A and B are shown apart, each in its own frame.
Chain A
Amino acid sequence: MKAETLLVPFKYLNPSRITGPIFEKELRVSSRRKRNYVLRFVYLAILLITVLLIWKSEVRMSGNVAFRVSRLSRAGLTITGIVVLVQFFAAQILAVIMLSNSISDEVYHKTLGALMSTPINSFQIVMGKLLSKLLQIALLICLTLPILGIVRVFGGVPWDYLLKSLCVTLTAVIFAGMLSLNISINHKHAYVVIIQTVLMLFLLYILLPWFGAWISYEYLDVREIVIARHVALINPFFLMMALLEELFRPGNTGISLFGWGWHCLYMLAFSGLLFLRAIIVVRKKALLQACGQVKSAGRKWKFFASSSKGQKIRRVKGQPLLWKELRKSSFKINSIKTMLSVVFIIGCLLFSYYMGSREKFLDDNETHIAYCMLFLILGVFVTTVFSATTITSEKVSRSLPVLLTTLITDWQIIRAKTLGVFRRTIPVWSLLFVHITIFILLRYIHPSTLLQVAIIVFGATMLVVSSGIFFSSMLKNTTSAVIANIIFAAVVWAGIPLAAMIIGELSGMNDELFEFVIAFNPFFHIGDVMDNASGSRAVKTLAELDYNFLIARWGYWGTTTFLAFTAAVYAAVGMLFLTLAKGNLRRKIF
């Protein structure tokens, strides 16, 4: 056998051949992007704050040496557990964001077809994209290793915990990244990819396991521990929690001892399948583009396709931009996929209600706190995303210059865009209001909450809509605007309370500052409103309702006035954002 023949397998295993020039190009481009450095800084800042917070709460400098050493060991455990958990969540979020435009950028800049006319193949394209992003995330994960190494010195943290959690995190990151990359093949906007990936992960990691566990427990008579072990095999979140519990209470769960290795293999296998799918679809897409067909027709439902074709011409009424914005719907049911998604969501909701009535927890106030909190998070998230696309979508489609040469004033544009977002988010917000209305009729929620929830929603949406429009007017790219607005909302409603908690701890104010800040938080508001006016309290009279705000117990009207005041503050800040957005409108057109 010739030497050349013997060397063939090595030729194919050569790393530079596997990744191809795409990998190098991606690394070069990402090193020039400011946002990657900002992300790294934010990531390290979050970790540092977390460590500081835990250190402050766990370690006491007073007491004898033995006590202090035992506290150090406890602090070591807590810091490791929390850092690993933060890393686990943050790395997956980053993977989803970083790979959300990996293929779509090539598709919509029409470079995918050009790549196919070179010796680069679709395997190298997908691998190059994936590895270049994963390398950056792996770098972030590695940054935390010295912290964990130092913390381990305090004692109490076993090495195998670090190894297991690292493997589970890495495989979960690969899977989330592969999912995002797959979805990005067919979607132009990164924010759509991010939303779809998050929903898909929610379905895979929460809904399906929960449903499967319920079926197994109820109808197949499978023991809880067996179900838990099977769920742990395919669910990194569940396994991570089990690992964490085992860290604090060794030998208590019995899940992670034999599950984690298999779990990692399963996750890699699923990622491999997604990788294969990506190679095939990218190749198809690239060949289509090389042949001059950019858009794939997609599978449209004939019924919807024909009805949309035959739509009548609608006449413009009133202020034209407002007319245009208000006629937009948030989603169009024009494909089987959309239809199935809507049916699935409604089905899940109805099923959860059925389960609630069967298990008799619908009259529990905690149930309604959970539902309303979930719907509020969903509504705020969708509003945050939609509002940040308003002006950038005009910039991206290059229709903004044309719009600005008409007689429509800048304020009219801002007003129309604001109202357009409210209009588009109605279906999402209706989940919250329909839920409340149904349970008011069933006398599980007090009717007075409708007004309070409307005030809370108004305040929260005013803030995120206006900040979204501001970021949209300031930034060129839709994805950047969406991410900026999500970060803004997260800072206002999670970061500031966290900072207040840290400052409170450091300054000796304890919880006073935190409670003051949280008193202006809509998520806290909705929780408190539901806590005091649902379940057994739903049948109380208005005068009997009392709420706990700002370390005081207030009646219904006092609370409602306070909520209205908070909403007014949010609306005022929102107006400031809108004024700034108006100023940006003619400054950053192109």
Chain B
Amino acid sequence: MIEITNLTKCYGQLQALVDLNLNIGQGDIFGFIGPNGAGKTTTMRILATLLKPTSGKAFVDGKNVLKQGKDIRRVVGYMPDFMGVYDDLKVFEYLEFFAAAFDIPSKQRKSIVEGVLELTDLQGKKSAAVDSLSRGMQQRLGLARVLIHDPKVLILDEPASGLDPRARIEIRELLRELKKMGKTIMISSHILSELEEICDFIGIIEQGRLVFSGTMDEIWRKMGTHSKVHVTVVPEHREKAIELLNTVPEIVEVSDQGSHIVVDFSDGQVAGSVVAKILVNGNVDIVSIEPAKMKLDDAFLQLTKGMVH
């Protein structure tokens, strides 16, 4: 649905994007991560036809961002990182204004606006002035606006920034709902745990370069977390368990972490079963065996160097 090839964007001497390549399939939720100034917003603005790339190509739904801007605007719903609102409009008027701006016939507008208000849980606010809404409500209104013309692709630049935990959870639920509706979503966020929960794919960008792109599983594999297991045994069997595990040739390292033992395998496919077999045969009482979990924050820190332009 989104295809980016060698995309480069320069602002004078500054290279905001350098040969960016990216593919996002239909119905996927793609999480875009990177430090401030890494090039996330620039990429999103190019896809939303607000910026022209210096070189390279970008396609949305098979349409070229440089040549078919109007066609792309029809299929894209773009929500900027800071959404400006018109202070002299009411919520219903605001949404109807954008419905009209997307050439939706006047007869259909009312029902469509009512529909997105219901989806974003804003029915009670339809007569409220847009500028009187709280930040969370305005973000919801922003989501309602991008949905008004039923776009195939949603480009959401930090939709959860500045929101309280409840509002963030509600936005997350809404995104899941949209995924079920078959929307392709490109989302950037600084709250990495959120992306971890809802995204199918992740792209990590730094200094305009994509340092990683793939599924969540691929990111764990790259980090090496797939080959680690956490083993918890009864305290009196811990030393015996370490001794037994150290005899296995496939195990690279065994380390005692106090509450549990971390076992690092050279081959992640056999990790859990090998550990279980050896410990059971050695009469060690096992409490639990579970694959090591790494947080996206840790992956982000490992993959990026914290450099900005």
Q: Which residues of A contact B (CB under 8 A)?
A: 313-317, 319-321, 323-324, 327-328, 394, 397-408, 586, 589
Closest chain A residue to B45 by CB distance? A401
Inter-chain pairs besides A316-B109, A401-B48, 20 sampled, C-beta below 8 Å: A316-B100, A320-B97, A320-B98, A320-B101, A321-B101, A324-B86, A324-B97, A397-B84, A397-B85, A400-B84, A401-B45, A401-B50, A401-B84, A402-B80, A404-B50, A405-B48, A405-B78, A407-B70, A407-B101, A408-B101
Q: How far is the CA of A526 from the CA of B100 in the complex (A)?
A: 42
Q: Is B229's beta carbon under 8 Å from chain A?
A: no
How far is it, in angstroms, between the C-alpha of A402 and the C-alpha of B145 when the chains are bound? 10
Q: Does B96 contact A (CB under 8 A)?
A: yes
Measured CB to CB, the closest approach of chain B to A472, in angstroms, equals: 16
Asked if B70 and A398 make an inter-chain contact with CB atoms under 8 angstroms apart, the answer reads: no
A394 pairs with B49, CB closer than 8 A:
no
Are B80 and A398 neighbours in the complex by a CB distance under 8 Å? yes
Chain A residues whose C-beta falls within 8 Å of the C-beta of B273 in the assembled complex: none
Say whether B89 contacts A324, CB under 8 Å: yes
Interface string of B103-144 (1 = CB under 8 A from A): 100100100000000000000001100000000000000000
Closest chain A CB from B308 CB (angstroms): 18
Q: Check if A316 sits within 8 Å of B50, measured CB to CB.
A: no
Chain A residues contacting B150 (CB-CB under 8 Å) are: none
Given the known A-B contacts A398-B83, A405-B50, are A313 and B92 also in contact in the complex, defined by CB atoms under 8 Å? yes
Bound-state CA distance A412–B147 (Å) is 23
The yes or no answer to B57 lying at the interface (CB within 8 A) is no
Q: How far is the CA of A406 from the CA of B50 in the complex (A)?
A: 11
A398 to B138, CA, bound (A): 13
How many Å from the CB of B129 to the closest CB on chain A? 9
A319, A397, A402, A586: residue with the most chain B Cβ atoms closer than 10 Å: A402
Q: CB within 8 Å of A: which of B67-86?
A: 70, 73-74, 76, 78, 80, 82-86
**Contact partners of B82 in chain A: CB under 8 A:** 398
| A399 in complex: contacting residue of B49, B78, B86, CB < 8 Å | B86
Kindly identify which residue among A316, A324, A397 contacts B106, using a CB–CB cutoff of 8 Å: A316
Contact A313 B90 (CB under 8 A): yes
Inter-subunit contact B88/A328 (CB<8 Å):
yes
> What residues of chain B lie closer than 8 Å to A316, measured between beta carbons?
93, 96-97, 99-100, 106, 109
Q: What would be 7 A-B contacts, judged by CB atoms less than 8 Å apart?
A: A316-B99, A316-B109, A324-B89, A397-B85, A399-B85, A407-B74, A586-B50
Which A residues lie within 8 Å of B93 (CB)? 313-314, 316
Residues of B within 8 A of A586 (CB): 50
Give B residues with C-beta under 8 Å from A. 45, 48-51, 70, 73-74, 76, 78, 80, 82-90, 92-93, 96-103, 106, 109, 126-127, 145
Which B-chain residue is minimally distant from A332 (CB atoms)? B88
Bound: A400/B51 CA distance, A: 13
Given contacts A315-B96, A316-B96, A398-B84, contact A405 B76 (CB under 8 A): yes
| Pairwise interchain contact A397-B109, C-beta atoms closer than 8 A | no
B residues less than 8 Å from A405 (CB atoms): 48-50, 73, 76, 78
Q: How far is the CB of A487 from chain B (nearest CB, A)?
A: 28
- The answer to whether B83 touches A407 (Cβ under 8 A) is no
Task: Output the least CB separation between B278 and chain A (Å).
Answer: 59
Given A316-B100, A321-B101, do A397 and B50 touch, yes or no (CB 8 Å)? no
Which residue of A is nearest B103, CB measured? A407
List of 9 A-B pairs having minimum Cβ-Cβ separation, nearest first: A398-B84, A399-B84, A320-B100, A406-B101, A397-B84, A316-B100, A405-B78, A316-B96, A320-B101
Q: Provide the residues of chain B in CB contact with A404, threshold 8 Å.
A: 49-50
CA distance A136 to B51 in the complex (A): 40
B98 to chain A minimum Cβ distance, whole angstroms, is: 6
A116 to chain B, nearest CB (A): 23
Q: What is the distance, in angstroms, from B293's C-beta to the closest C-beta of chain A?
A: 38
Contact A406 B86, CB 8 Å, known A313-B92, A316-B96, A401-B50? no
Q: A490 to nearest B CB, angstroms? A: 31
Which residues from B are CB-within-8-Å of A315?
A: 96, 106
**In the complex, chain A residues whose CB is within 8 Å of the CB of B126:** 313
Q: Note all chain A residues with C-beta closer than 8 A to B50.
A: 401, 404-405, 586, 589
Q: Which residues of B contact A323 (CB under 8 A)?
A: 97, 100
Separation in Å of the B281 CB from the closest CB of chain A? 64
Residue of A nearest to B69 (CB): A586
Contacts of A320 in B (CB 8 A): 97-98, 100-101
Bound form: Cα–Cα A398–B45 in Å: 14
> A474 CA to B84 CA in the complex, in Å?
19
Query: Which chain B residue lies CB-closest to A405?
Result: B78
Q: How far, in whole Å, are A374 and B251 apart by their CA atoms in the complex?
A: 92
Looking at the assembled complex, report how far the CB atom of B14 sits from the nearest CB atom of chain A, in whole angstroms: 14
Q: What are the residues of chain A within 8 A of B88 when measuring CB–CB? A: 327-328
Complex CA distance for A320 and B103, rounded to whole angstroms: 9
CB closest chain-B residue, reference A397: B84
Give the residues in chain B near A402, CB-CB below 8 Å.
78, 80, 83-84, 98, 145
B103 to A: closest C-beta gap in Å: 5
Nearest CB in chain B to that of A310: its residue:
B127
Tell me the bound Cα distance from A408 to B109 in angstroms.
Answer: 16
Q: Write the chain A residue with the least CB distance to B110.
A: A315
Residues in B with CB closer than 8 Å to A407 are 70, 73-74, 101-103
Q: How far is the CB of B2 from chain A (nearest CB, A)?
A: 15
Residue with the highest number of chain B CB atoms closer than 10 Å, among A315, A394, A406, A589: A406
The 8 Å CB contact of A397, one of B76, B86, B99, B145, is B86
Chain A residues with Cβ below 8 Å from B87 are 397
Residues of B within 8 A of A400 (CB): 84
- Chain B CB count within 10 A is highest, among A328, A405, A586, for A405
